[in-house]
């Protein structure tokens, strides 16, 4: 079923050709379709339209073919969005729940201020991925990156789990990011692949994994592997480092009188 109308029977896949459709119109079609009970949507020929999935709060599955624009899935609460390609900046901005699965690269500030839900990126991410991630109530955001990241990954993290797998690094190759976890004051980061001490923010410490950490990795690396066709057991054989904050409020004394 291919249509530019948002009407479809529940259980069927509504296919929308996004060629030439402005983002406002496209998102209006998505909201109307979800309101009408559509639970599976396929967007074809997406070319930079912003805010796809923003504020959707029902368990709809959206498959995107093309390259969605900034703020994919911003503020969303429940959907599963699968991108068969790359995503631009702000993917998962302040998302509350649901999943975003990117079968390529994602841009800067992936997972910005996310307070719940899961984001899986098969390849690399840009700058400041995971910035200001935080936990809210019983919600905990999860960001798993298959490749590597640019500078300031995990900056100002206040909660959640960020996993950087470095699967595209060759033997002995370092992650290139500097200022990793700068200002981090909550949550945890697991990093596979080597980094030098000067690449880390001064606010974090590096510790060995315990059994709880291994269970966390087993769960989310397992989900990552299932999405992208990897062998989870092979990934988990790699050496991981655990990064966690040394202080609750690393910059608090700067503002104290």
Q: Which domains does the chain have, with CATH numbers?
A: 105-251 (2.160.20.60)
User: Is it the case that residue 3 has pLDDT exceeding 90?
Assistant: no
- Quote the DSSP letter at residue 173: P
Give the confidence band of 251 by pLDDT, cuts at 50, 70, 90: low
Give the confidence band of 157 by pLDDT, cuts at 50, 70, 90: very high
User: Is it the case that residue 41 has pLDDT exceeding 80?
Assistant: yes
Reading the block at residue 11, the tokens are: 């259980």
User: Is it the case that residue 124 has pLDDT exceeding 50?
Assistant: yes
How confident is the model over 65-122, as pLDDT tens digits?
999 999 999 999 999 999 999 999 999 999 999 999 999 999 999 999 999 999 999 9
In DSSP terms, 158 is beta-bridged to: 186
Q: Are 235 and 167 in contact (CB under 8 A)?
A: yes
Q: Three-class SS of residue 37?
A: coil
Measured distance CA(68)–CA(86) in Å, rounded: 8
How confident is the model over 45-55, as pLDDT tens digits?
999 999 999 98
Q: What share of the chain is helix, strand, coil (3-state, %, to 5)?
A: 15, 30, 55
User: Is it the case that residue 8 has pLDDT exceeding 90?
Assistant: no
């Amino acid at each position: 079923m291919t249509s530019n109308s948002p009407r479809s029977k529940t259980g069927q896949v509504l296919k929308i050709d996004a060629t030439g459709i402005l983002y406002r119109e496209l998102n209006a079609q998505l909201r109307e379709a979800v309101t009408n009970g559509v639970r599976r949507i396929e967007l074809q020929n997406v070319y930079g339209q912003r805010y796809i999935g923003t504020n959707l709060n029902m368990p709809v599955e959206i498959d995107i073919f093309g390259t969605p624009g900034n703020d994919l899935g911003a503020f969303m609460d429940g959907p599963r969005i699968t991108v068969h390609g790359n995503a631009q900046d702000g993917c998962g901005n302040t998302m509350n729940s649901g999943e975003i699965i990117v079968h390529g690269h994602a841009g800067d500030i992936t997972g910005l201020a996310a307070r719940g839900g899961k984001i899986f990126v098969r390849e690399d991410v840009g700058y400041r991925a995971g910035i200001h991630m935080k936990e809210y109530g019983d919600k905990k955001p999860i960001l798993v990156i298959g490749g590597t990241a640019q500078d300031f990954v995990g900056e100002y993290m206040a909660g959640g789990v960020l996993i950087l797998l470095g699967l595209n690094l060759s033997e002995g190759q370092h992650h290139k990011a500097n200022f990793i976890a700068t200002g981090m004051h909550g949550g945890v980061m697991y990093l596979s692949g080597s980094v030098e001490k000067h690449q880390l923010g001064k606010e974090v410490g590096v510790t060995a994994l315990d059994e709880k950490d291994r269970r966390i990795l087993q769960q989310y690396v397992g989900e990552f592997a299932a999405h992208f066709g990897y062998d989870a057991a092979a990934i988990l054989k790699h050496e991981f480092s655990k990064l966690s904050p040394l202080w609750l409020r690393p910059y608090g004394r700067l503002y104290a009188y």
